[in-house]
Amino acid sequence: MEVHRDDEGSKIGMWLFLFTEMVLFSGLFIVYSVYRYLNREAFHQAAAHLDVALGTINTIILLASSATIAMSISAIQYQKKKQALALLTATVVLGLVFLVNKYFEWGEKIGHGIYPGSETLASYGHGDVLFFGLYYFMTGLHALHIVIGLVFIGFVIWYIAKDRITHDNFSVHENSGLYWHLVDLIWIFLFPLFYLIT
Amino acid sequence: MISEPKHASEPSYLEYKGKHKGILAWILSTDHKRIGLLYLYTIMSFFVVGATLGLLMKLELIAPGKTIMEAQMYNVTFTLHGIIMIFVIVIPGLPAVFGNFFLPIMIGAKDVAFPRLNLLSWWVYIAGIILVLIALFTGDGPPDTGWTFYAPYSFKTAGNMLPAVFGAFVLGFSSILTGLNFIVTIHRMRAPGMRWMKMPIFPWTLYGTAWIQLLATPIIGITLLMVAGERLFNIGFFDPALGGDPILYQHLFWIYSHPAVYIMILPAMGAISEIIPTFARKEIFGYKFVVGSTLAIAFVGYFVWGHHMFTSGMSGTALFAFSILTFLVAIPSAIKVFNWISTLYKGSIRMETPLYWALSFIFVFMIGGLSGLMQGAVAINVHVHDTHFIVAHFHFIVFGGTGFAFFGAMHYWFPKIWGRMYDAAWANTGWIIFFIGFLSLYGPMFYLGLQGMPRRYYDYDESFHGGNILSSLGAIIMIAGAMVIIVNLIRSARKGAPAVADPWGGRGLEWKIPSPPPLENFDEIPVIK
Amino acid sequence: MENSSHHIVPYRVYLIILAILILMTGISVAVTQIDLGVITIAVALLLATVKSAFVLIYFMHLKFDNRMFSIMAVGVFLMIGVVIFVTFLDYLFR
């Protein structure tokens, strides 16, 4: 059977997959908004525990990484392989820095006894339990998506280095970009919901 | 009818020899037809398991008090019956079997858009089944929550929930991948000249179904992950002791599981819409209305989930809104019934087994649908909630609807799939036994439910005994009918008379190619005028 | 099947969008430091929505792709919105 190539079809497929991811997270946004509505005061108080500066830095890091991967797709179309590789590597580095920041942020919270199921957290009251439950669950799931995205981009780098992705065959590259932007898109909503609305 | 099958230029998909041999030639095949049959064989095997569990429940209920099992065993049995029947059988059901086999053929394509992803979907599906089976045989006993996994019981019970929950999650993932594949296939691979409004009805219903699979399944995914989080980390999302709201769990669960009902019924309606015009020898009446109502059901069906929760403590406003929306969704379903009847009107009807199934489908679907409309009214719902009336209703829809359409489609496309005819006398005998069994199994449950017999108990009051005897006898009759049907089909697939390319005088593209189809379906891609 | 030639977006466009996004992040941080009650939440979410629109339109190429993608994306967001609305018919009036 001849190999059937349909870049537009792959892109539709990727978008459809992104829709399922959006709906997946929207389930959590429903839970968040319901519990925020039911525990308004407690959510305000609890959000104040999070470090706005760290959150802002991470937001800018993710936005920048989104720009670099988008630029790398232009680079591959301009047939500038080295630039494309450099921009993708920058994306991976920024993604890793985001994860490291996240690690310290979580570590600090856990160090203070704030984690699901802990006695300390339970003593703060129901609103805090739900806020931090959602915080860990949603940022955790988001971080998992970052890890998957980094692996995906790693493959793209490998393919470009091996010339399997070129200026006239870069569908995989483009789709990895779409996936990475989705991760960014979700963070754009997570950031105000957890860090800003205090 | 008399012409011999055309000899294809290449061997049929059944005989084709690839680089793998034996069973590997099937479980590693990316051919959409073989994958369809892989699903069929898996589904049929588990149907035997699920039906056996159902029969055990009916045997337990043949008399009040303990008959063959204890209460806990009964809880486990109805849970497994539900999980297997819903997640393993009816949700993949028609799309995975007949959708995989016939979607590319009916739109004039050689395969689906992503053949390897298609094979992966089947493997993911098998992985999900294995996880569910692990829940059965490990830990402190099988799940006993019912297939709905209602919180907070689902993270308090000693039953082995985690593998079952992950299994359902993985099965959902398989369903998403199939839906994604179908949407891209329909968008990108229709034959030249097949505009949207020239597409047959079955692909249209698969299209609507695929969107529901895509946009509803992730909700159950995330909900089940949250339940897993509850069990593993005691987070408190749905635990009232930690401030969580169990009703929110019910919302999330039904945001998926109500649309899931339309995942089950839409392709069934599509298959019926193929069978009836063929045997009435007419075009389907009101094609545009059938297409429109398909999309309307898919859309409105997304916003009616709350009618499963009328007694759970929602606000009055929500009760009102969900009740109205539920009545709305009945309209497009009714439109379809009128279209089928109008297609039959003044048709030159040829009574064959698939048409028997289609007509009985309309009959049971009407009963199921109208009883559903009754429950859409809040007052009646409060009266019949969690009684056998509900059990009767959803079996009339899910089994009477999807199941009858599945058997109808099975007989309709049987000659195409295996290139042989089934034995019509046995098939009709099986159908009538099954139909009588079905009605006497589920019919009395309407009455029992209205009298107040609750569901999900292994015991009942003496006054319900009469109806339960009839129901249990019906179960035995229906199983006997199912055995006749399945044995006949298996025998016919091996030894039946060779089938011609178009035994029914059907008009779709699937009847233009040899039976069984060659590996690539079409020698050259057809052009639709 | 045609693999249509792609629109190549110059680096400059992405950098401008990035600058706008960072600016808007700054604004939302600054605004939310002032306690305006409900308005704070509204502003923060509105800015997030505008930011995500920029990401969708430019980074994710909705502006340059077949319009079908935009229609699908808007449809999905509307659907999610309606689901949240219907859920709140319960919680707002309980």
User: pLDDT of B141-162, one tens digit each?
Assistant: 889 999 999 988 888 888 888 9
User: pLDDT of A154-167, one tens digit each?
Assistant: 999 999 999 999 98
In-domain check, residue A2: no
| Average pLDDT of chain B to the nearest whole number | 93
Peptide bond before residue B152 is cis, with ω within 30 degrees of 0: yes
In-domain check, residue B422: yes
Query: Which residues in chain B are contacts of C87 at CB distance < 8 A?
Result: 251, 255
CATH number where B313 lies: 1.20.210.10
pLDDT at C6: 64
Distance in Å, alpha carbon of C80 to nearest chain A alpha carbon: 7
In-domain check, residue B5: no
Query: In the structure, what pLDDT confidence band is assigned to residue B12 with cuts at 50, 70 and 90?
Result: confident
Q: Are B251 and C89 an interchain contact pair (Cβ–Cβ within 8 Å)?
A: no
Give the nearest partner residue to C32 out of A7, A30, A196, using CB atoms.
Answer: A196
| Token pair of B81 as six digits | 């019956």
B523 touches chain A (CB under 8 A): no
DSSP state of B524: S
Touching subunits of C (3+ CB pairs, under 8 Å) are A, B
Q: Are A192 and C40 an interchain contact pair (Cβ–Cβ within 8 Å)?
A: no
Give the nearest partner residue to C79 out of B302, B313, B315, using CB atoms.
Answer: B302
In-domain check, residue A3: no
In-domain check, residue B392: yes
| Token pair of B225 as six digits | 């992950």
For residue A168, the SS3 value is coil
Touching subunits of A (3+ CB pairs, under 8 Å) are B, C
The answer to whether the beta carbons of residues B492 and B484 sit under 8 Å apart is no
φ, ψ (nearest 5 deg) of residue B387: -110, 180
In-domain check, residue B471: yes
DSSP A59-87: HHHHHHHHHHHHHHHHHHHTT-HHHHHHH
Closest residue, chain A, to B215 (C-alpha): A20
Length of chain C: 94
Between CA B32 and CA B35 the distance in angstroms is 5
In-domain check, residue A117: yes
Query: Would you kindly state where each structural domain of chain C is located, as residue ranges?
Result: 9-63, 64-94
Query: Which residues in chain A are contacts of B242 at CB distance < 8 A?
Result: 122, 126, 129-130
Distance in Å, alpha carbon of A90 to nearest chain C alpha carbon: 15
The answer to whether the beta carbons of residues B235 and A117 sit under 8 Å apart is yes
Total beta-carbon pairs less than 8 A apart between chain A and chain C:
116
For residue B110, the SS3 value is coil
pLDDT at B2: 38
The predicted model gives B317-340 an average pLDDT of 95
B232 touches chain A (CB under 8 A): no
Q: Are C18 and A67 an interchain contact pair (Cβ–Cβ within 8 Å)?
A: yes
Give the nearest partner residue to B234 out of A34, A116, A141, using CB atoms.
Answer: A116
Count of structural domains, chain B: 1
Closest residue, chain C, to A33 (C-alpha): C84
Peptide bond before residue B516 is cis, with ω within 30 degrees of 0: yes
Q: Where is average pLDDT lowest: B9-23, B61-75, B197-211? A: B9-23
The answer to whether the beta carbons of residues B92 and B173 sit under 8 Å apart is no
B337 touches chain A (CB under 8 A): no
CATH number where A140 lies: 1.20.120.80
Count of structural domains, chain A: 1
Query: Which residues in chain C are contacts of A192 at CB distance < 8 A?
Result: 28, 32, 44-45, 47-48
The answer on pLDDT for A43 being more than 80 is: yes
The domain of A112 spans 8-196
| Token pair of B129 as six digits | 């089944």
In-domain check, residue B75: yes
The predicted model gives B87-108 an average pLDDT of 95
The answer on pLDDT for B15 being more than 90 is: no
Among C residues 24-83, those touching chain A with beta carbons less than 8 Å apart: 25-26, 28-29, 32, 40-41, 44-45, 47-48, 51-52, 55-56, 58-60, 65-66, 69, 72-73, 76-77, 80, 83
The answer on pLDDT for B8 being more than 60 is: no
Give the nearest partner residue to B222 out of A16, A27, A136, using CB atoms.
Answer: A27
Q: Are B321 and C89 an interchain contact pair (Cβ–Cβ within 8 Å)?
A: yes
User: pLDDT of B183-199, one tens digit each?
Assistant: 999 999 999 999 999 99
pLDDT at A3: 56
* Sequence-separated (6 or more) residues with CB below 8 Å from residue C72: A15, A19
Between CA C58 and CA C12 the distance in angstroms is 12
The predicted model gives B264-272 an average pLDDT of 96
Distance in Å, alpha carbon of B188 to nearest chain A alpha carbon: 6
Query: In the structure, what pLDDT confidence band is assigned to residue C1 with cuts at 50, 70 and 90?
Result: very low
A56 touches chain C (CB under 8 A): yes
Q: Are C14 and A8 an interchain contact pair (Cβ–Cβ within 8 Å)?
A: no
User: pLDDT of A13-28, one tens digit each?
Assistant: 999 999 999 999 999 9
Distance in Å, alpha carbon of C94 to nearest chain A alpha carbon: 11
User: pLDDT of B17-55, one tens digit each?
Assistant: 778 888 888 999 999 999 999 999 999 999 999 999 999
pLDDT at B397: 95
The predicted model gives C23-27 an average pLDDT of 95
φ, ψ (nearest 5 deg) of residue A26: -65, -30
Q: Which residues of A have a CB under 8 Å from any CB of B?
A: 1, 4, 6, 8-9, 12-13, 16-17, 19-21, 23-28, 30-31, 34-35, 38-39, 116-117, 122, 125-127, 129-130, 133-134, 136-137, 141
φ, ψ (nearest 5 deg) of residue B238: -120, 20
In-domain check, residue B7: no
Q: Which residues of C have a CB under 8 Å from any CB of B?
A: 1, 76, 79, 82-83, 86-87, 89-94
Touching subunits of B (3+ CB pairs, under 8 Å) are A, C
Q: Where is average pLDDT lowest: B21-25, B73-77, B98-102, B351-355? A: B21-25
The answer to whether the beta carbons of residues B464 and B453 sit under 8 Å apart is yes
B242 touches chain A (CB under 8 A): yes
The answer on pLDDT for A93 being more than 90 is: yes
In-domain check, residue A1: no
Percent of chain A with pLDDT over 90: 84
Q: Is B158 exposed, middle or buried (0-12, 13-18, 19+ CB in 10 A)?
A: exposed
Substitution target in A2, A10, A16 with the highest count of B β-carbons within 10 Å is A16
Between CA A76 and CA A83 the distance in angstroms is 8
The domain of B36 spans 24-511
Q: Which of B67, B75, B78 is nearest to B391 (CA)?
A: B78
Give the nearest partner residue to C55 out of A6, A15, A188, using CB atoms.
Answer: A188
| Token pair of A53 as six digits | 């500066």
The predicted model gives B285-303 an average pLDDT of 94
